[in-house]
Amino acid sequence: MGLCTIRELKALAPLAAIANVVYLVAVCIVLQQLFQIERPTWSLPAVGNWSTLPLFFGTVMFAFEGVAVVLPIENQMDEPLHFITHNGVLNTSCLLVLVLYMTVGFFGYLRFGDGIMDTLTLNLPQTNFYQAIKLMFVACILVSYPLQFYVPMERIEKWIKRKVAIERQEKLIYGARMGGVICTCLVAELIPHLALFISLVGSVAGTSLTLVFPPMIELLCSYSKDSLTPWIWIRNVSLMLFAVFGFATGTYASLVQIVEAFGKPDV
């Protein structure tokens, strides 16, 4: 909670960098366990059921939850152009995350098959060594969470500064930060079936952030500049139609699975 009271992005950057280093070390140790494949790879289904494909879509979209901090980070950089070049910060970091996700997902499935848990760390051996690895992941989340927390709180702070008297602003701002942390902890603690809720959040929020708002904004900006070409129109409308389809199917499949997981026959 104390870290989430930090209101300057530059102050959070060193902490996030340290968390990334610790995270990579922990992932490398986990990969060493995943590489110990004990079953023939051909014994596992290469493709899942069509009914679970929308859940996969939602989970993939959830991976884009960090896209919300793109603009704040770019705005705080001394040289913003280094962020968006072809080999800049954004593309390089996205490529590294993609490789990391693919590696852990692929070898995790080969190692544990259908018995893989909602969180891969739950499949690790219950030894003191791997318990320490789990603590490393927990520490990374605690340190990097304030970076994700920065974006919504920035909007809330601006609203408070517009609507509330100056003498009350500081108390409300820090109260909102503490309340947000408490609510997040309660959600993480009380919600079971984490994978299904990840898919639901990805289908709703991730799809909006990555496949709805960007093409919509480009269409509006191109229209305002009189540079809206047929190709821009077709490309962005196609993305939004795909997003609507993924949003609908992913949300429905996630809700059905969540309801079934809680013991009800249907929605």
Q: What is the pLDDT of residues 98-131, one digit of tens each?
A: 888 889 888 988 888 888 887 888 888 888 998 9
Same domain, yes or no: 232 and 133:
no
pLDDT the model gives residue 68: 66
Residue 267 has pLDDT above 50, yes or no: no
Of 253 and 79, more confident: 253
Same domain, yes or no: 223 and 114:
no
Query: What is the pTM for the complete model shown?
Result: 0.73
- Site of tokens 């196609």: 238
Same domain, yes or no: 203 and 123:
no
Q: Look at 37-46, 87-96, 125-134, 135-144 and tell me which has the smallest mean pLDDT.
A: 37-46
Stretch 152-174: mean pLDDT: 88
For residue 37, tell me if it sits in a domain.
yes
Same domain, yes or no: 118 and 224:
no
For residue 220, tell me if it sits in a domain.
yes
Residues with Cβ within 8 Å of residue 54, at least 6 apart in sequence: 199, 203, 246, 249, 250, 252, 253, 254
For residue 153, tell me if it sits in a domain.
no
- When the pLDDT of each residue in the chain is averaged and rounded to a whole number, the result is 84
Structural domain boundaries, residue 203: 193-267
pLDDT the model gives residue 265: 52
Q: How far apart are CA 267 and CA 248, in angstroms?
A: 15
Whole-Å CA distances, 216 to 75, 213, 243: 22, 5, 11
For residue 176, tell me if it sits in a domain.
no
Q: Which two tokens stand for residue 114?
A: 């259908």
pLDDT the model gives residue 70: 73
Count of structural domains within the chain: 2
